[in-house]
Chains A and B, each alone.
Chain A
Amino acid sequence: MIPVDVAGLTKIYVDQSRGEVRAVDDISFACQPGEIFGLLGANGAGKTTTLRMLSTILAPSAGRAAVMGHDVATAPEHVRRSLGFYSASTALYPRLTGRETLEFFARINGFPEAAVAARVEALITRFGIGEYAGARVDTLSQGMKQKVSIARTVAHDPPVLIFDEPSVGLDVLNALEMQKVIGELRDDGKTIIFSTHIMSEAERLCDRIAIIHRGRIHACGTLAELRAATGRHYLEDIFVHYVEQAGAAPTP
């Protein structure tokens, strides 16, 4: 089974001032198990809209997408149960403790009740939350909140993980820690979709990269394939090449 299968996915908004806006325009891709699939694009390129459609927050205007064989349009709850979604806008509940947060997200996402306690303890150990597991989230440091946040994303052990610009707002050390954890999750066999506009992150982490600009995917492949196709070495140059080829200047 292909963990994530997207075909012709489109999202059209009707904006009062701009009229019809194609935020995502007929994109297709598939992700394999144990792979980090990068969506690389400037701000406003359509990355978040794509990921929101995959996580069923937004409904596609056209096309289809399936996560672990579940269609986002017809089986949204199964889709959400099969994935963990992390972004800068998915905050933690400040009044819960770290442990309560993990218990809640494991339960609400359908993790077997009998195994919740053991799962939570395993996550606390794995992410080094132990000492702070009983403290309220609003009293934790930024780094510790980040750990709890990643742990809650994987609390129900989903096969697919979405990280939407996860390093936004993090300092260098926390951003590197985030990259390390994402790499480990890939090693665990998770399928990971990772969106970013930071070239170095994509270069370091992604097994395959899709370059997205103005709602369309202009190239998709491994870094080596993209280098070979463009004759450029650095991902930044590759990105600019495709954006220019698309007939538009990159968004600053």
Chain B
Amino acid sequence: MSPLLTLYRFEVRSALRERSIVINSILLPILLYPGLMWLMFTGISFVRGQTDDMASRIVVSGPLEAHAPLDRALRQDRRFQIVDPAGEDAAALRAGALDARLELSVHPVAALPGNLQALVVYDGSHERSSAARQRLVEVLEQYRDLQIRTETLARGVAARDWAGFLVEGRNVASERDMGGFLLGLMLPLMFVVMVAVGCFYPAIDTTAGERERGTWETLMTTSASRTSIVVAKYLYVATFGCVAGLLNVAAMALTMRTIVGQLAGGAVALDFSVRPEALPVLAAGAVLLSAFIAAGMMVFASFARTFREGQSMITPFYLLVLLPTVFLSSRGTAFSPALAAIPVVNVALVIRDALSGVFQWPLIGITVAVTLAAIAGLLRLAAAIVAAEAVVAGSYSGTLATFVRGLFGRAAPAPKETAR
């Protein structure tokens, strides 16, 4: 078995026994977002159910008896409970003792004798009061439609002609297009977050963690080459990032299909299955993204001597990775050559487009080239760090910035000597 494979297997096996890594890189991607979404929708459904089951307590003032259909509608509708006015209505509304007041009056500029003006008084800060207003508006609109139909028919005009013109819409997107669009809005952002989370703990564990546990020197005295050690550690971190990202995509797609589909209740036709032609692009994107983030995190964590130091050193890079993804939440962001030159954002946009069935091959080409170049640069830096004697011996007390300046001969002490 090659030293590289031996080291890689050892790193993975060891990581799978570390609770924080298993939780953050495997369980969190699977459970967090589906769990959050389930909790959120369960909460919304619960509140909605509570409100739906409650009768709205309303007070009606004005000439209701002159509008028999409206009076009948309000009294027969079990969603309303018409109560007698008791004291100051506004105070009762604010106190939650009353849900809404309907004030009916004759329209000041009424063209027809039956014209009516309706005012719904409610407290927008109370969910129950807002629901009462919505219910009242619904009943009033139905009564208005009835009145318009009655009056127009009495004058020999059909209601459709009275409307003047009709506005209709027709969505040419298929169910899959709509599902892909929604997935494309959410998945790339969550994918970047999850890959970063997936890489975070392994990157610290395999660098600062080794030093903190005192195993760094043990490893350095084995016959494995420094290159093998760096590459095995890098592959281990990238693997966990990639797995975290892919598990999250799978979990999210499944969640969207089951939970969101059920919530929509058939009102919106959505198909959240990922297009087969997008799968290779998604897989390549996952590999590129995790390879880049793993390389960056390992470089940033290389100088840490304790787990806590590692967290502090990696966090700026972590935030740096997440920052550009703000662009992704904007629906109108078009994938352009300029965006294709920005690592992380470019891969996320490729994934977003692929989920919607859009494949801009020149931009995908730029994305691959830029990301590979960035990875190569970071790995060269990582190799230089591990070759630095002071880092290997654990005596280097500087930061990444000091080290980089040292490489270019602008700072002292530079890690001039190397250990092989």
Q: Which residues of A pack against B, CB within 8 Å? A: 14, 16, 52, 55-59, 61, 73, 76-78, 80-81, 83, 85, 87, 89-96, 100, 104-105, 107-110, 113, 136, 156
Contacts and interface: CB of A to CB of B under 8 A. Distances in A.
Contacts of A14: 413
**Which 5 residue pairs across A and B have the least CB separation, nearest first?**
A91-B214, A81-B223, A85-B221, A90-B218, A80-B223
Interface stretch (B2-10, B233-241, B242-250): B2-10
Interface in B240-270: none
Nearest to B420: A76
Contacts of A56: 419-420
Nearest to A52: B393
B417 interface: yes
Interface residues of B, number: 29
B223 A110 contact: yes
Contacts of B420: 56, 59, 73, 76
A108 B221 contact: no
Contacts of A108: 3, 6-7, 10, 222-224
A59 B417 contact: yes
Given A59-B418, A76-B419, A92-B215, 7 more contacts: A16-B413, A52-B393, A87-B217, A90-B217, A91-B213, A91-B215, A107-B6
B92 to A, nearest CB: 65
A9 to B, nearest CB: 14
Contacts of A61: 417
B392 interface: yes
A135 to B, nearest CB: 13
Contacts of B14: 93, 95-96
B170 interface: no
B389 interface: yes
Nearest to A83: B221
9 contacts: A57-B419, A58-B417, A92-B218, A93-B10, A93-B213, A93-B215, A94-B213, A107-B6, A108-B224
Contacts of A93: 10, 14, 213, 215, 218
Nearest to A94: B213
B77 interface: no
B64 interface: no
Nearest to B218: A90
A113 B413 contact: no
Contacts of A78: 223
A113 B224 CA distance: 15
A83 to B, nearest CB: 8
Given A87-B217, A91-B215, A93-B14, A58 B413 contact: no
A151 to B, nearest CB: 13
Contacts of B83: none
Given A56-B420, A108-B222, A16 B3 contact: no
Contact of A57 (B1, B7, B217): B217
A101 to B, nearest CB: 10
A52 B393 CA distance: 9
